Structure 1
Amino acid sequence: MRLWRPRLHEVGALLPGVVTISVSASILTGLALLVLGHGLRRRKRRAWRAVVVLLAVSAAAGAVHLSPVHAVVSVALLVVLVVRRGDFRAQGDPQSRWRAVRVFLGLLLADLVVGTAVVYAAERFEVGGAPSLAAALSEVAAGLVGLDGPVGFATHRAADLVGTVLAGLGLLTLAATAYVVLRSPEPRAVLSDDDAQRLRPLLRRGEDSLGYFALRTDKAVLWSPSGRAAVGYRVVGGVMLASGDPVGPSDAWPEAILAFQEQAAAHAWTVAVLGCSEQAGEAWAEHAGLDALELGDEAVLTTEDFTLEGRPMRNVRQMVSRVRRHGYETRVDRVGELEDGLRATVLADAAAWRGSETERGFSMALGRVADPRDPDAVLVTAWHEGTVRAMVQLVPWGADGLSLDLMRRDVDAAPGVNELLVAAVMEAAPRLGVTRVSLNFAAFRAVFERGERLGAGPLLRLRRSVLIVASRWFQIESLYRFNAKFQPEWQSRFLLYPGPGDLPRVSLAALEAEAFLVWPTWRRLREGQA
């Protein structure tokens, strides 16, 4: 630290609003203000309180040290913050207070252990040999806040090295504690029984094919003041992520959107919408000022137009005929009419055929199979020699539609069994009173479709190549190819976000919500080792 002092004085003069106990301490405090500045930008009350305290102490220190410029700048900033105190309303996470205390104490203990080891490791550079434990701890405690301790060093290089390590540990502790204190709350999303009961009548009259997925038990619901519309959402990484269109009549959407914005602002959450229709996207853009990004298209079949005849459907027709010749049969049931034995079989098979331990889905999946809570859902099973080999579950879409929720199969099932399931759904549709069926969502369909055409530009071809590589892990291209076989009507779906600067954060939150991005935890690591 001693060699740095001439330079630190120059840097310290550029950082108003810091306590000048020492120049190095001023650097650490200035960095604390930078950390808190992010919280101020997001209107967090806790950040405002912390900065007010720092500026008040800084102004007092400037007065004591006869630094009028320092004191005046600190007082001016303090006055501005006090006058604008009403702008900082974002609530913090109630649980983060004690969590921050635990984090601070844990890191402080680690700092003392590591710092003491560093001091003793520099023994040959210390004046008078190895210090006592009390002196070493005092040196560490002082170094964590950028001060010089009682231990003397024979060379400036050794002093600077030890001081840098200790100051770095102090900065890490400060930053980690500030992050925990200032992080936005992430309440556990739970759908209450009351909310589910209120949603069902609206869903029966709804026009969104993804509306029924608002009944996921790991989504929360925010109602408009009139109770005529609601938005299903989950908070992920500080993003208040809605899914699909608002539930309820479109004329009630604006008040639901405004209520959603107010809730997000109260907690400093970023507003985003995943998988909404074009109509809902226009409403979010108008009333919430969000930008739109086209994610892809869902494939919609109508019973009036669907047929296996004709040249465009030859491939599907041949695969369905081949599977049926191999002895495969199908059965179509309403979930509420399933026998207990078949329900148990379906649950066991669905778990066994799952591709990974992680259950994916947020905006376009219900998260449960053959559940009595969904009596109007439809389960289609494919049988071979008395055994279920594949299944598809579809949930209600308004009064006369079905929306694909889940499609699973035994890895040893014959090729074409999925096409057979779709054909069975469409054949049974008149009996079920269904006039429209929504199939899988095809992400970035337009890129695949236009990118393979003659005359596609180099940028479009590059985007298509990137998606093809990504399809090795996310099945993007295969889902598009599968849907396109049935000659569907394509309906666009969008991602809504505040602006370009928020898009990376919103994208990560969406990937995490859909479980395409799973962060490692101690529990997962232990299960993996087991």
Structure 2
Amino acid sequence: MGEHVPTSARPGAREYASAFVVWYLRAATVVNLLGAVWISFGRDLKRHNDGDFFTPHLVAPGFTGALFVAVLAVTMRRRKRAAWILNFAMGALVLALYTAVMATFPQLRTHAFNWLSWSLTALFVLCLLAGRREFPAKGDRANPRLALAVAFGGLLVTTALATVLVTVTNQSPQGSRSDLGSRMAYAVGRLVFIAGTEDRVDGIIIPGWVDVFINIMAALLFLLVLLAAFRSRRATPPMTAEDEEQLRRLLAQHGERDSLGYFALRRDKSVIWSPTGKAAIAYRVVGGVSLASADPIGDPEAWPGAIDAWLAEAEEHAWSPAVMGAGEVAGTVYARHGLAALELGDEAIVETGDFTLEGRAMRAVRQAYNRVQRAGYQVRVRRHQDIPPAEMAWLTQRAERWRDGENERGFSMALGRLGDPSDGHCVMVECRDSQGRLRALLSFVPWGREGLSLDLMRRDRAAENGLVEFAVLELIQRAHEVHVTQISLNFAMFRSVFERGAQLGAGPVLRLWRSLLSFFSRWWQIESLYRANVKYRPVWEPRFILFAKSSELPRIGFAGAVAEGFLDIPLVSRFMRRTP
């Protein structure tokens, strides 16, 4: 990561110390889980703690203990400062307690197990001190207040639910004489201290499943409090008017390099600049993932400075850096900064000067085009700035009415708005029937001075099929009217899988992968986008996803699906977008 890569022996020692802390927490998690599922082992550990021995720091067998330590391991792995503070406070306190107890009671110093526990705890604390600079990630300043609010409100709700459960399931003959305070005290005891089933309150005998259910509520509440306490900072503010103006200047100078560059002007994205101001990265934080889109904007010589700034910000706030849809050149630059790359799919680009409907290969496309043309459909091509405001408002209204679903899709290849006066160089393609009624419209954003990139595609569901293809073909053939030489169409994810998987001799793994993608295409239109593009015989340009750690790919994929609008689980999507 540029200047973030350690270059001396001292940073290396700090890294080893921080790695030990994380692995210690992971080992403690495993031991606690083992103590929960291996009853005799868990009882032995508890007996040691209650008798003449004590266990190493954070070794407390049980699912709740395992959950707590697992969250600490994850947050320490993500280098969060708040997690370091909590671990050091707890570790130092336990080490001081162990030291005082062993100094006070000489007989405890005769047991080797106590010395082992003391040594592991001391090593954990010393490694925390040695590696303290390896945990710089800042959390949201509102986290302490939020954690307290979640703890207080959650405790009230769970106490009320647990008290009701204890009341309605009490099997004690004296249950009618147990007052509300006793039932509430039992519920709070189970929630806070997770007392065993053998610990009873007079006049209260409840089934074992009620105790288990209350413990589950306590564990979930505990997890929510931890997540609130260690939550990453909220997403950075979206771009300002000054950011947008500067981006437009960079696009005017270097916009030909990337067909997706104009989509950096989405106003729900944030922008981070290189030190010289000659390059920028547009991104959005979704679910703790700093998701950049396409290539950096601006002078390629200034890209490294923008990438360094973006990676430094992600490290500062414990965000996972990822790039969606980078081109090959930009992907190479990102890779030099420590990111790994996977091919995500291909972008379909049509060179208008070389395109023709003639020939055997275009027979099906030509027939479909002629069929729609004979039905009387006509296409009008205009720049947005040439459309009167009242007419543009009406076109925008029609496009909104034809939108497929409530969720607006797009992040890396969608502008997210239509008809904005600042987008006057965009191109509108309108398709009307023989009676002059609008049946479909497409909008393209500028790609440098002589290119267009597809942004929006809407059609009247009541009209016949083939209108969108007809409109695209008309634009390609009339591209000279708007001084365009190349057009970027939809992005086709996993294009090579569909293409090679259908060929003779394709292996079983490739055929299985193609079958799975075809299955999921029923909901996400993966294969249909490939089929819609291949008919124009485009030039395919590969696009890549870049990431720092392969273990974060599921998280990055989920964040990307939420950002692009392919995954719309209301509560989850809202949490991912607003609370990274």
> What is the distance in 2 between the residues matched to 1:504 and 1:98?
30
Paired residues of 1:126 and 1:152 also in contact (CA < 8 A): no
> What is the distance in 1 between the residues matched to 2:143 and 2:495?
42
Deviation at 1:393, TM superposition (A): 0.5
Q: Which 5+ residue runs of structure 1 have no aligned equivalent?
A: 525-530
Instruction: Find the residue that maps to 1:373 and give its secondary structure.
Output: helix
Are residue 83 (structure 1) and residue 130 (structure 2) matched? yes
Instruction: Find the residue that maps to 1:521 and give its secondary structure.
Output: helix
Aligned partner of 2:56 among 13, 16, 30 = 16
Are residue 256 (structure 1) and residue 306 (structure 2) matched? yes
Deviation at 1:446, TM superposition (A): 0.8
Paired residues of 2:235 and 2:286 also in contact (CA < 8 A): no
Aligned partner of 2:184 among 128, 132, 137 = 137
Q: Which residue of structure 1 lines up, in the alignment, with residue 242 of structure 2?
A: 194
Instruction: Find the residue that maps to 1:391 and give its secondary structure.
Output: strand
Aligned partner of 2:346 among 292, 297, 311 = 297
Q: Deviation string for 1:91-130 (max 9, x for gaps)?
A: 1012333222221112111222233234445643488875
Are residue 316 (structure 1) and residue 365 (structure 2) matched? yes
Q: Which residue of structure 1 lines up, in the alignment, with residue 90 of structure 2?
A: 54
Instruction: Find the residue that maps to 2:423 and give its secondary structure.
Output: coil
> What is the distance in 2 between the residues matched to 1:15 and 1:156?
33
Deviation at 1:151, TM superposition (A): 7.1
> What is the distance in 2 between the residues matched to 1:78 and 1:126?
51
Deviation at 1:473, TM superposition (A): 1.2
Deviation at 1:327, TM superposition (A): 1.2
> What is the distance in 1 between the residues matched to 2:462 and 2:194?
69
Please tell me the residue identity of whatever aligns with 1:146. Answer: F
Paired residues of 2:294 and 2:325 also in contact (CA < 8 A): yes
Deviation at 1:280, TM superposition (A): 1.0
Q: Which residue of structure 1 lines up, in the alignment, with residue 232 of structure 2?
A: 184
> What is the distance in 2 between the residues matched to 1:441 and 1:483?
8
Please tell me the residue identity of whatever aligns with 2:84. Answer: W
> What is the distance in 1 between the residues matched to 2:301 and 2:177?
77
Deviation at 1:444, TM superposition (A): 1.1
> What is the distance in 1 between the residues matched to 2:419 and 2:327?
27
Q: Deviation string for 1:222-257 (max 9, x for gaps)?
A: 111111111110111111110100111222111111
Larger CA deviation: 357-366 vs 94-103: 94-103
Instruction: Find the residue that maps to 2:91 and give its secondary structure.
Output: helix
Cα 1:188/1:357, change in 2 over 3 Å: farther
Deviation at 1:88, TM superposition (A): 1.1
RMSD: 3.0
> What is the distance in 1 between the residues matched to 2:372 and 2:48?
76
> What is the distance in 2 between the residues matched to 1:435 and 1:15?
72
Paired residues of 2:368 and 2:466 also in contact (CA < 8 A): yes
Are residue 451 (structure 1) and residue 501 (structure 2) matched? yes
> What is the distance in 2 between the residues matched to 1:240 and 1:138?
45
Normalising by structure 1, we get a TM-score of: 0.90
Q: Deviation string for 1:449-501 (max 9, x for gaps)?
A: 11111111111111111111111112222221121111111111111122321
Please tell me the residue identity of whatever aligns with 2:251. Answer: L
Q: Which residue of structure 2 lines up, in the alignment, with residue 276 of structure 1?
A: 326
> What is the distance in 2 between the residues matched to 1:455 and 1:522?
42
| Structure-to-structure mapping, 1:455-494, within 5 angstroms | 455-494=505-544
**Larger fraction in helix:** 2
Q: Which residue of structure 2 lines up, in the alignment, with residue 213 of structure 1?
A: 263
Aligned partner of 1:440 among 490, 501, 508 = 490
Paired residues of 1:139 and 1:148 also in contact (CA < 8 A): no
Deviation at 1:419, TM superposition (A): 2.0
Deviation at 1:74, TM superposition (A): 2.9
Q: Which residue of structure 2 lines up, in the alignment, with residue 391 of structure 1?
A: 441
> What is the distance in 1 between the residues matched to 2:178 and 2:202?
13
| Structure-to-structure mapping, 1:294-373, within 5 angstroms | 294-373=343-422
Q: Which residue of structure 1 lines up, in the alignment, with residue 277 of structure 2?
A: 227
> What is the distance in 2 between the residues matched to 1:463 and 1:18?
44
Give me the identity figure in percent.
42
Larger CA deviation: 136-145 vs 77-86: 136-145
Please tell me the residue identity of whatever aligns with 1:95. Answer: A
Larger CA deviation: 370-379 vs 136-145: 136-145
Paired residues of 1:15 and 1:30 also in contact (CA < 8 A): no
Larger CA deviation: 403-412 vs 88-97: 88-97
Larger CA deviation: 498-507 vs 92-101: 92-101
Q: Which residue of structure 2 lines up, in the alignment, with residue 107 of structure 1?
A: 154
Deviation at 1:403, TM superposition (A): 0.5
Normalising by structure 2, we get a TM-score of: 0.82
Q: Deviation string for 1:323-382 (max 9, x for gaps)?
A: 121111111110111112321221111011111011000000111123211011000101
> What is the distance in 1 between the residues matched to 2:195 and 2:420?
66
> What is the distance in 2 between the residues matched to 1:243 and 1:237?
16
Instruction: Find the residue that maps to 1:105 and give its secondary structure.
Output: helix
| Structure-to-structure mapping, 1:116-131, within 5 angstroms | 116-121=163-168, 123-125=170-172, 130-131=177-178
Deviation at 1:38, TM superposition (A): 1.4
Please tell me the residue identity of whatever aligns with 2:383. Answer: R
> What is the distance in 2 between the residues matched to 1:491 and 1:215?
22
> What is the distance in 2 between the residues matched to 1:27 and 1:310?
68
Q: Which residue of structure 1 lines up, in the alignment, with residue 218 of structure 2?
A: 170
Cα 1:497/1:14, change in 2 over 3 Å: farther
Instruction: Find the residue that maps to 1:396 and give its secondary structure.
Output: strand
Cα 1:234/1:103, change in 2 over 3 Å: same
Cα 1:156/1:120, change in 2 over 3 Å: closer
Instruction: Find the residue that maps to 2:421 and give its secondary structure.
Output: coil
> What is the distance in 2 between the residues matched to 1:100 and 1:382?
55
Paired residues of 1:331 and 1:382 also in contact (CA < 8 A): yes
Cα 1:147/1:485, change in 2 over 3 Å: closer
Cα 1:424/1:457, change in 2 over 3 Å: same
Cα 1:486/1:182, change in 2 over 3 Å: same
Deviation at 1:523, TM superposition (A): 12
Q: Which residue of structure 2 lines up, in the alignment, with residue 37 of structure 1?
A: 73
Q: Which 5+ residue runs of structure 2 have no aligned equivalent?
A: 1-35, 103-107, 109-113, 575-580
Cα 1:72/1:170, change in 2 over 3 Å: farther
Cα 1:386/1:212, change in 2 over 3 Å: same
Deviation at 1:89, TM superposition (A): 0.7
Matched pairs, number: 518
Paired residues of 2:562 and 2:573 also in contact (CA < 8 A): no
> What is the distance in 2 between the residues matched to 1:87 and 1:523?
31
| Structure-to-structure mapping, 1:496-507, within 5 angstroms | 496-507=546-557
